Amino acid sequence: MIIVLKPDITRKQETAVLQEIRKLGYRPHVMRGVARTVIGAIGDERTHQSLETLTTWPQVEQVMPVQKRYKLVSREAHKATSTIAVRGNIIGGRKLQVMAGPCSVETEAQLMSVAHAVKKAGATILRGGAYKPRTSPYEFQGLGEKGLKLLAKARRETGLAVITELLSEAHTDLVAEYTDIIQIGARNAQNFQLLIAAAKTGKPILLKRGLSMRIEEWLLAGEYVLSNGNANLLFCERGIRTFETYTRNTLDLAAVPIIKAESHCPIVIDPSQGAGRADLVSSMCKGAVAMGADALLIEVHPNPTAAWSDGPQQLSLDLFARLMEELRPFIAAAGRE
């Protein structure tokens, strides 16, 4: 059930509602918006008293049943689109946010050159992998803590917010210390204990879609974040595994309007992983903007042919700057900034 509280009620009135929800055997999850507070009450209505009696309370505006398996991420739970603030940047608002940077943090010189270049071109968030999930154990696995420290240094120098991937529960506190957004990659999209650990840091969580994950499974994975007290969830479509071999993955742009219809959480598109080919990134970005994506996650490298990981899908600094200029009319046509 979803309980919508009236605006301008006191914290004491809110607490009374929470106490009643617990008394009736449900587990409440509070989501505070700008104008209203919404409470998701989780429990089996077949064995517990109905919460519809709360409609008689003066501080309650509405009580609604939620039929979806995913409760808190659903649009039913929260009609208004959620926005997430990251170092002054609003994801999910009118402005399209661009997250850009190398697939892997390799050296200080490499990272700093990319950070300054993508900021100059208009990016607001720096991406970079310090821990890398690689198919082969013999491939570059990332610099680890050294990479995190380099990302933090780039943030100090440029003012860009930072997003990086969390691979292990053991690294949760360390990654949270250095990053502004925690990325959960495709291979860990249903690693529920990792999702819970990441959620409990309080950091915004970017949840990538799994390699063969249905949208309902993706939404349910996101439910683990919100149900553990973290309302700052971003869904990220990064391509799924299909029979097609012309591209590394098949970027499912239909996921954008579907997620927007089903969930209040913002959605990000990763065209670099989505296609696995740098020559397709520009077209995929334009399509993503036209479909209504809230942000783009783009891989950029000063010399893609010499990259330590995923060189074929990374844009050079010049190509990224050109892409940002080419996106302007598409952003304007989509009613974004």
Partner residues linked to 41 by β-bridges:
28
In a domain, 322, yes or no: yes
d(CA 204, CA 206): 7
Asked if 106 and 204 sit in the same domain, the reply is yes
Contact 233, 74 (CB under 8 A): no
- Full residue range of the structural domain in which residue 29 is found: 2-64
Give how many domains the chain has, as a whole number: 2
In a domain, 76, yes or no: no
Asked if 163 and 306 sit in the same domain, the reply is yes
Asked if 33 and 170 sit in the same domain, the reply is no
d(CA 2, CA 60): 11
- Maximum Cα interatomic distance, the chain, rounded to a whole number of Å: 66
Exposure on the CB side of residue 286, measured as CA atoms within 13 A: 12
pLDDT for the residue numbered 79: 82
Query: Which secondary structure element, helix H or strand E, spans residue 298, and what is its range?
Result: strand 295-299
d(CA 4, CA 238): 34
Helical H segments across the chain, by residue range: 11-23, 108-121, 145-158, 172-178, 192-199, 215-226, 255-262, 271-275, 278-291, 317-333
Contact 164, 175 (CB under 8 A): yes
Asked if 117 and 252 sit in the same domain, the reply is yes
Torsion sign, CA atoms 326, 156, 236, 75: negative
pTM, whole model, 2 decimals?
0.84
CATH code: domain of residue 43: 3.30.70.1140
CATH code: domain of residue 97: 3.20.20.70
CA-angle at 330, arms to 324 and 333, nearest 5°:
145
Tokens of 158: 């440029």
pLDDT for the residue numbered 46: 62
Contact 179, 130 (CB under 8 A): no
In a domain, 254, yes or no: yes
pLDDT in tens, the chain (337 residues): 889 999 888 999 999 999 999 999 998 988 877 677 889 888 876 677 888 889 999 999 989 877 777 888 998 878 889 999 999 999 999 999 999 999 999 999 999 999 999 999 999 999 999 998 888 888 888 899 999 999 999 999 999 999 999 999 999 999 999 999 999 999 999 999 999 999 999 999 999 999 999 999 999 999 999 999 899 999 999 999 999 999 999 999 999 999 999 999 999 999 999 999 999 999 999 999 999 999 999 999 999 999 999 999 999 999 999 999 999 999 999 999 9
Asked if 182 and 327 sit in the same domain, the reply is yes
Query: Which secondary structure element, helix H or strand E, spans residue 37, and what is its range?
Result: strand 37-42
Asked if 50 and 113 sit in the same domain, the reply is no
